[in-house]
A and B are shown apart, each in its own frame.
Chain A
Amino acid sequence: MIYREAGQFKTTYAADQAVFSIVQDRVAVAAAVVGAFVVPPLVASEYWLQAVLIPFLVYALAAIGLNLLTGYAGQLSLGTGGFMAVGAYSAFKLATAFPHLNVLVVFVLSGLVAAGVGLVFGIPSLRIKGFYLAVATLASQFFLVWLFNKVAWFTNYASSGTITAPDRTLFGVVITGPNSAPSARYLVALGLVAVFAVIAKNLVRGRIGRSWMAIRDRDIAAEIIGVRPLRTKLLAFGISSFYCGVAGAGLVFLYLGSAETLAFDISISFLVLFMVIIGGLGSILGSFLGAAFIVLMPIVLANAPHALGLRLPVALQKQIELMVFGGLIIFFLIVEPRGLARLWQITKEKLRLWPFPH
């Protein structure tokens, strides 16, 4: 009854091709974005910002990046952690080598560095696909993390081997490093994610996105109708790595504050892949839903026994968390293999007819 497009006529091509073609969608999304910018900095506690919202935003950005590559271009990648590490370490090097460079410029530049690395590691995708490619991208994961671990230049010869985000300001407010307020970092992360999500959404509904989907659905047929596999696949790797690189820089600069290579190991690649699959392959909204799910689930699981009044030994609780996490993933895949985005789509279909389904 509320969610209905009856009476909304599209009289121009622009209106027909709009991202959100229904007024209700536009209002809801605008309200959500404005709400996200205004409400949490005023309301949310430091714990919520630091432990939930900021990681959610950073992972959502990485998930969008991987979704572009895996969901839209169909190239399965397990090297996300490696590309995020490239972003993080190049952001660190750039920020410390050029202290006066605007930190946003640093983020974009480090994304570009990651994109360059992604292009190199995307080359095998021209010859192989599917799980062979997935395993091949693991090479980037292991090699890059090893490289950052071994070459002390990347950490500015820090004896501990960690990189720490230096203090950098934006409009006079400290937004990175140990002296920054969580709300400032939250706003920067939100701004980055909002801008890049809009760009991603427009990428995938334009020429580039369509050529990606053509390659994904039938690469040989795509080649015949004039999509160049070499350019298309490498572009997907490049842009995806750009997103992952910015997310990696955000992970260190906006979320963790300091990190070592352990923060970018194989488990983060799987985590981001989970977000993409649980959220929904080939959906920008799905990347957000998946990231929210994966960020929130461990927190819920960690607090659930306490809320139920159970007192468990730490080790046992950790093991039960693992089991429930694994079990829930299998459960979700069985219930809806096409992810949370698909569930949302079904809900919308139902809403349009509600309350008179016939």
Chain B
Amino acid sequence: MLDLLYAVAVAPFRDMAGAPAFLIEVLIGGVFAGLMYSLVALGFVLIFKASGVFNFAQGVMVLFAALTLVGLLERGVPVLVALALTTVVMVALAFAIERLVLRPLVNQAHIILFMATIGLNFFLEGFGEMLWGANVKKLDIGIPDRSFIVRGVQINQLELTAAATAAVLVTVLAVFFQRTRIGRALRAVADDHEAALSIGVPLRTIWVVVWSVAGVVAIVAGLMWGAKSGVQFSLSLIALKALPVLILGGFESVPGAIVGGLIIGVGEKLGEVYWGPLVGGAIENWFAYVLALAFLLARPQGLFGEKIIERV
């Protein structure tokens, strides 16, 4: 019993203190993974805020974006042109989704819309693989995947670039939401659909814009994940990893998605490295969920979510 307590509560911390450089490496790995989760979670939050749709297809949108990009690059299209073309494809996808899926389902229960996005998930998966093939592809956008050592801590250049990109993206999004006309309309819709409609905010345009922005976020996420681990079907599974981030950060909060992603990423890596061996490893799959669950019991609306007060 005492041994167990020691193994759970003392030994991991002793290991951490014993090898600080390794601890920092684990933390950096966690922050990187967390940023990636945040990027996917961000796509969820954007769409949920503006249309109340829990978009399960976000993960497949990441896959689809990455597949399109790789497919174009393989055909000899220059990187920048390929990026622009992929953006066009994602915007077109947003138009199609608004027209074919969201508009006919307007005013339906949330669970119906959620199911529709799962249908979309299947459709895009088949469509993407049909267009571009199902093999694992290497995505090379010119960022070298090499590491350098700073004071005994290994830092990966790719991860550094990814982190910087994510930071830039978040800043751009924040400015877009706060400063532009469309951004303000978006926030109005998120706040209250009907009020926004009554003062003349075009709801349909807003939906297309949100899905397009989510598509662009998906491109960035696909780019980073793809460069790290190749473009393949498993990319779409990171959507499942982003879900605990959402409950931790709150479904409606952009900062929540970022902070939640970092907490999940770091917590997951620390748990896997220091506590995982106790139960035989591979706990990454559910650790985030249990972490989020424990958190939810204390604070049901998430870190930054709005407190829901209900009356009869």
Contact = CB atoms under 8 A, between A and B. Distances in A.
Interface string A93-136: 00000000000000000000000000000011001101110011
B278 to A, nearest CB: 12
Contacts of A325: 119, 122-123, 126
B279 A135 contact: no
A316 B133 CA distance: 9
Contacts of B292: 135-136, 139
Interface residues of B, number: 49
Contacts of B311: 220
Nearest to A221: B312
B289 A142 contact: yes
Contact of A150 (B108, B130, B279, B296): B279
Nearest to A334: B104
B116 interface: yes
B196 to A, nearest CB: 22
A10 to B, nearest CB: 34
B166 to A, nearest CB: 23
Contacts, number: 131
Interface residues of A, number: 45
Given A146-B283, A150-B282, A337-B108, A327 B123 contact: yes
A128 B296 contact: yes
A150 B280 CA distance: 7
A333 B126 contact: no
Interface string B105-125: 100111110111011111111
A293 interface: no
A131 B251 contact: yes
A131 B114 contact: yes
B104 to A, nearest CB: 4
A301 to B, nearest CB: 11
B119 A138 contact: no
B182 interface: no
B275 to A, nearest CB: 14
A324 B101 CA distance: 15
Interface of A: 70, 76, 123-124, 127-128, 130-132, 135-136, 138-139, 142-143, 146, 150, 218, 220-221, 224, 266, 270, 273-274, 277, 281, 315-316, 318-330, 333-334, 337
7 contacts: A70-B111, A127-B296, A139-B290, A319-B134, A323-B130, A326-B126, A334-B104
Interface of B: 54, 100-101, 104-105, 108-112, 114-116, 118-127, 129-130, 134, 240, 243-244, 246-247, 251, 279-280, 282-283, 285-286, 289-290, 292-293, 296-297, 300, 302, 310-312
